[in-house]
Amino acid sequence: MFFSLLGYDISGTGEGLYKPPSREKPEDLQARTYQKFQAIIASAVANTEGNGKDTYLLLGPIGTGAFANDMQMIAEIFRKILNDPLMDSKKSIRYAFDQIWFVSIDKLDVFVKEFKK
């Protein structure tokens, strides 16, 4: 079983492994969030067996709770990452998994709409 966790630098110094993005620069926030989510998906792919059959990827609206990120932005980032090839792959990275589920206690209508695109 594989779990991937993410978080911000909680040291308070801003010198940790991950520097929190600037709220004043939406493009910075989006770019850093994209990089972080891409790393999460890449580590999940690296931990799949074989062709991904019977492999489930469970995701959620990461960062939309306590960090108050825009759910639409998060949905767009996940849609882009999952539909683009990763590294040298020829197909969308979503094909590395048998099923991808978004789970949350919140409504995920934004994700449903975004992934229908």
Query: pLDDT tens digit string along 59-80?
Result: 988 888 877 889 999 999 999 9
| 76 belongs to a structural domain | yes
Q: Which range of residues forms the domain containing residue 38? A: 26-115
Q: Is 103 within a domain?
A: yes
Closest by CA position to 73, among listed 21, 117, 114, 107: 114
Q: How many domains does the chain have?
A: 1
Question: Is a pLDDT exceeding 50 seen at residue 113?
Answer: yes
Report phi then psi at 75, rounded to 5.
-65, -45
Q: Quick check: is 101 in a domain?
A: yes
Assess whether pLDDT exceeds 70 at residue 6.
Answer: no
Sign of the alpha-carbon dihedral angle for 37, 39, 41, 47: negative
Q: Are 56 and 62 in contact (CB under 8 A)?
A: no
Query: Using an 8 Å Cβ cutoff, are 4 and 40 in contact?
Result: yes
